[in-house]
Amino acid sequence: MSLPDFAIEARNLVKTYPATKTTAEMQALKGIDLQIPRGSIFGLLGPNGAGKSTFINILAGLTKKTSGTVTIWDRDIDQRPRDARAAIGVVPQEISADPFFTPYESLEVQAGMYGVPPKERRTMELLTALGLGDKAKAYVRQLSGGMKRRLMVAKAMTHNPPVLILDEPTAGVDVELRRQLWNFVVDLNRKGVTIVLTTHYLEEAQELCDTIAIVNRGQVVACEPTGDLLKRLDTRTVVITSNAPLTEVPILKGFEGKLRKDGSLAVAFKTGETGVEQVLAAVRAAGVGIKDLATEDPSLEDVFLSLTYGDPTAERPTGT
């Protein structure tokens, strides 16, 4: 049997929550179309309330869609719900593990729920890979928050699914544990596991993801390879350190500058209309002496803000 081109495919996916006595009808997903390539690390980004969690819950079988079609590993979630759910492992935002079980027992129970025969279980292999081998017999309640989150990843992989969904997996995890987790995830991907990632840390998504979809108000506003997405903004920024500290933004002819917290002056410009020399000329004409300068290309955060809030310089609210 040939492998599918897309690990997950959604067509015109709609989810409407009916009105209640206290709330009006709400359409969380408004005709989502997504094709997640097999073998990719796929980023699913969006502001709070954009519909990401609703989409993931539909994939996990926790929420019923209103209309549209979804397949996971070529298995329709309506026609083959058990097979579809068996093809994914989901690591939710919330940590849910019995505090009176050990990590070893938690994984054994999870494997049993998926019908994995005892001889085929990889309990110690998974715990060791995620840095929990020495905690296998400790109670879950004794683990740190970062350890519990890694345990959630191990639980999601007990049945060896071809697709792993990570919903904010590094929230509350320190830098070292985050690095260990990503090393494990990248290694899984190299072995053929498709990774679907939501994260607050846009720099992580930019570094890790092959393809990124941005969802806003229940609709997909962009879905492209990461490199193509970063080229959407035809802007660059010149960052100037002046000879004397700046206390206010100078008036620049044809440009708008902004002072950064370190006292440098940032001037954005459209690459299709002008260049760095014109920016520097305007800065000098405003009487600003140039001690040092650097240029910055648009980041994923700039693109994200532009697509979701309309202003790449806007302050990003917490939660993406």
Averaged pLDDT, groups of 10, the chain, 320 residues long = 91 94 91 96 93 94 95 96 94 84 95 94 93 93 87 93 92 78 91 93 91 95 92 87 88 91 89 89 92 89 84 45
- Output the domain CATH number for residue 272: 3.30.70
Left, alpha or beta for 35 (phi > 0: left; psi -120 to 50: alpha)? beta
> pTM value?
0.82
Q: Which domain holds residue 119?
A: 6-227
Examine residue 123 and state whether it is found in any structural domain, yes or no.
yes
Examine residue 302 and state whether it is found in any structural domain, yes or no.
no
User: Are both 249 and 186 inside the same structural domain?
Assistant: no
Using DSSP's 3-state secondary structure scheme, residue 175 falls into helix
- Residue 255 CA to residue 292 CA, distance in Å, equals 19
User: Are both 72 and 187 inside the same structural domain?
Assistant: yes
Question: What distances in angstroms separate CA 66 from CA 15, 18, 32, 49, one per listed residue?
Answer: 5, 10, 12, 18
State the amino acid at position 223 in one-letter form: C
Indicate the number of domains in the chain. 2
Examine residue 287 and state whether it is found in any structural domain, yes or no.
yes
3-state secondary structure 142-160: HCCHHHHHHHHHHHHCCCC
- Residue 116 CA to residue 169 CA, distance in Å, equals 25
Q: What are phi and psi for residue 266, nearest 5 degrees?
A: -105, 125
The tokens for 208 are 């890790």
User: Are both 99 and 74 inside the same structural domain?
Assistant: yes
User: Are both 222 and 270 inside the same structural domain?
Assistant: no
User: What is the model's pLDDT at position 112?
Assistant: 94
Examine residue 315 and state whether it is found in any structural domain, yes or no.
no
User: Are both 241 and 104 inside the same structural domain?
Assistant: no
Examine residue 310 and state whether it is found in any structural domain, yes or no.
no
Examine residue 308 and state whether it is found in any structural domain, yes or no.
no
Examine residue 53 and state whether it is found in any structural domain, yes or no.
yes
Pairing of strands 6-17, 26-37: antiparallel
- Output the domain CATH number for residue 58: 3.40.50.300
Q: What are phi and psi for residue 167, nearest 5 degrees?
A: -100, 100
User: Are both 187 and 82 inside the same structural domain?
Assistant: yes
